[in-house]
């Protein structure tokens, strides 16, 4: 598959009629697509953060997604977070929603959200919300259907891996 193949395409997900977290699957699919389109069209926190004291660059060579996550960490808390770069709709939406979810959290809470999100989309839930003590994934659960498309898992998790790298002062990461 060449770089950029998944740009401007939104994966259509077909599910059987059962429920996850109170949504039947057709409702979840529709919500997923609406949220992805909204955050792709109007990404939140999409800018270079001039006051950043941590940053990392992430690259998904399969899809061509490339982004930088900027963090301003103060007293072990994410005071501010932003991102910039280019990518497919899923990658951009995941980055946008990630910045909203992580802002104001402690470093440990951000790391826990990273683990929960990765477990949810990769289908290997390493840590339950009850065990973590976190606020949970909330509206990030719209990405749960991504696990059905392994190539798209890398698109959805790239921003999270990049944020994780920034929190831990690792400069460059790749999904390969």
Per residue in 105-161, pLDDT (tens digit) is: 999 999 999 999 999 999 875 544 444 444 589 889 889 888 888 889 999 999 999
pLDDT score, position 89: 92
Residue 3 has pLDDT above 80, yes or no: no
Chain-centroid distance of CA 77 in Å reads 19
Q: Note the pTM of the prediction, 2 decimals.
A: 0.80
Domain-by-domain residue ranges, the chain?
Answer: 19-174
Which is higher by pLDDT, 8 or 54? 54
pLDDT score, position 175: 84
Backbone φ/ψ region at 119: left (φ over 0), alpha (ψ -120 to 50), beta: alpha
pLDDT score, position 62: 87
Q: In terms of CATH architecture, what is 19-174?
A: Alpha-Beta Complex (3.90)
Q: What is the DSSP string of the chain?
A: --TTTTTT--------S-EETTEEHHHHHHHHHHHHHHHHHS-TTBS--TT-SEEEEEEETTTTEEEEEEEEEETTEEEEEEEEEE--HHHHHHHHHHHHHHTT-BHHHHHHHHHHHHHHHHT---S-HHHH-S---GGGGGGGGGGG-HHHHHHHHHHHHHHHHHHTT--EEE--
């Amino acid at each position: 598959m060449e770089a950029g193949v998944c740009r401007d395409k939104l994966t259509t997900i077909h599910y059987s009629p059962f429920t996850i977290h109170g949504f039947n699957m057709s409702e979840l699919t529709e919500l997923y697509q609406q949220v992805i389109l909204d955050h792709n069209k109007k990404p939140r926190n999409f800018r270079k953060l001039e006051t950043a004291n941590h940053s990392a660059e992430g690259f998904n060579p399969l899809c061509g997604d490339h982004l930088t996550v900027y963090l301003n960490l103060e007293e072990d808390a994410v005071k501010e977070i932003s991102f910039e770069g280019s990518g497919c709709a899923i990658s951009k939406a995941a980055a946008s929603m990630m910045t909203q979810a992580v802002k104001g959290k402690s470093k440990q809470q951000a790391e826990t959200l990273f683990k929960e999100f990765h477990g949810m989309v990769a289908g290997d839930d390493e840590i339950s919300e009850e065990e973590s003590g976190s606020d949970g994934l909330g509206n990030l659960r719209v990405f749960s259907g991504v696990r059905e498309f392994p190539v798209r898992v890398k698109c959805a998790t790239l921003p999270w891996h990049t944020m994780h790298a920034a929190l831990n002062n690792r400069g460059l990461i790749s999904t390969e």
